[in-house]
Structure 1
Amino acid sequence: MISMLFSRGADGVPAPSPLDFATLALPATPNTCLLTPSTAPGAGHLHRDPFPVPVDDAFAAIRAVAAAQPRTFPLADYPERRQAQWVVRSRLMNYPDIVVAEVAPAGDGTGLWLYSRSLIGRSDFGVNRARVLAWLTEFEARLRRG
């Protein structure tokens, strides 16, 4: 854990692997937030109807959202799954959080799965939920701009 705090960027964070949202079991701790399409099975904290855009456009948009965020560093990219992962470092304490985004066909459009979770601590004071909502707002704005 100490190496995660004194590392920079994505260094010191456990090696990633693709996340399977169909089998994801959310932890009992309040330091995560999962957005899922309203058409997707399973439990999420937030839900959003699918977007009326092609999957590739949605994947480009969520990657652009991540690239524009402060203290956000690429962790893993799985283009065949249209999934990407990032490390987001807190400004004051350098705590690492992980954000995973995936887009896929859902209903008559493209669904967005967006999962933000803390690696350290039990509570996050709402940071992960606020991040998911902020990324979603920016994602929607990018899609509207085309």
Structure 2
Amino acid sequence: MIKTILWGAAALIGVIVLAFVLVGRERSWELIAGSPDQGQYDFAAAQRSATPNDALACSPGLCAKPDFILEPVDDEPAAAIATLVQKLLASDKLARRVDDGSNPAIARLVAYSATMRFPDVIHLEARPLADGRTGLLAYSAAQLGKSDFGVNRARLQALFDIK
């Protein structure tokens, strides 16, 4: 009886692993949990994940309770976002842009973990400030799980060169 249950469990695990291999890890997670791209993050509402698997950063006064502050930049908003997107795509070969690019001051990307391909969504936004500079906003969150072991925070720190 116990052998039958163990063989059944092993067969089920084998089928799941085979499905992940045949369908692909990214697509498998999408079939299980839905698209990681749920639209642009609303920085004004600043809804955070209920679990510690996200990170929020912004220039002073642009969002509530950020994990860290981003210095404003001298670039125009579109140029600032283009630079950040380019840097993120160059540093993470598993990342891809998912927004339609219709607003050049906003970008949305999905990055995947190396082994299991767990999806994280990165939201970037740039806004003109009263002093002529550009304020930056960034939010990175895991779609699955309760903890990301600090990956989203580390991603934003690397993107903005914060130690």
Change (3 A) 1:15 1:97: closer
Q: What is the match of residue 23 of structure 1? A: 45
Is residue 2:142 matched to residue 1:131? no
Q: Any gaps of 5 or more consecutive residues in structure 2?
A: 1-18
Contact kept in structure 2, 1:33 and 1:116, CA below 8 Å: yes
Shift of 1:83: 1.1
Identity of aligned residues (%): 29
Q: What is the match of residue 12 of structure 2? A: none
Tell me which protein shows more helix as a share of its residues.
Answer: 2
Amino acid at match of 1:117: A
Query: Superposition pairs for residues 83-94 of structure 1, below 5 Å?
Result: 83-94=106-117
From 35, 39, 58, the counterpart of 2:57: 35
Distance in 2 (CA, whole Å) between partners of 1:76 and 1:97 is 14
From 114, 119, 130, the counterpart of 2:143: 119
Q: Any gaps of 5 or more consecutive residues in structure 1?
A: 139-146
Contact kept in structure 1, 2:37 and 2:121, CA below 8 Å: no
Q: Which moved more, 1:44-53 or 1:120-129?
A: 44-53
Amino acid at match of 1:23: A
Contact kept in structure 2, 1:39 and 1:106, CA below 8 Å: no
Distance in 1 (CA, whole Å) between partners of 2:63 and 2:107 is 21
Contact kept in structure 2, 1:31 and 1:126, CA below 8 Å: yes
Distance in 2 (CA, whole Å) between partners of 1:78 and 1:20 is 17
Q: What is the match of residue 64 of structure 1? A: 86
From 23, 26, 29, the counterpart of 1:7: 26
For the aligned residue pairs, the C-alpha RMSD in angstroms reads: 2.6
Distance in 1 (CA, whole Å) between partners of 2:66 and 2:85 is 21
Amino acid at match of 2:38: P
Contact kept in structure 2, 1:87 and 1:99, CA below 8 Å: yes
Contact kept in structure 1, 2:77 and 2:128, CA below 8 Å: yes
Distance in 2 (CA, whole Å) between partners of 1:43 and 1:81 is 26
The alignment partner of 1:76 has SS state of coil
When normalised by structure 1's length, the TM-score is: 0.80
Q: Kindly tell me the number of residue pairs found equivalent between the two proteins.
A: 136
Shift of 1:102: 0.8
Measured against aligned partners, the alpha-carbon deviations of 1:69-124 in whole angstroms (never above 9, x if no partner) come to: 22101211344261111110100111111111111113421111111100111111
Shift of 1:60: 1.6
Amino acid at match of 2:107: A
Is residue 2:74 matched to residue 1:52? yes
Q: What is the match of residue 3 of structure 2? A: none
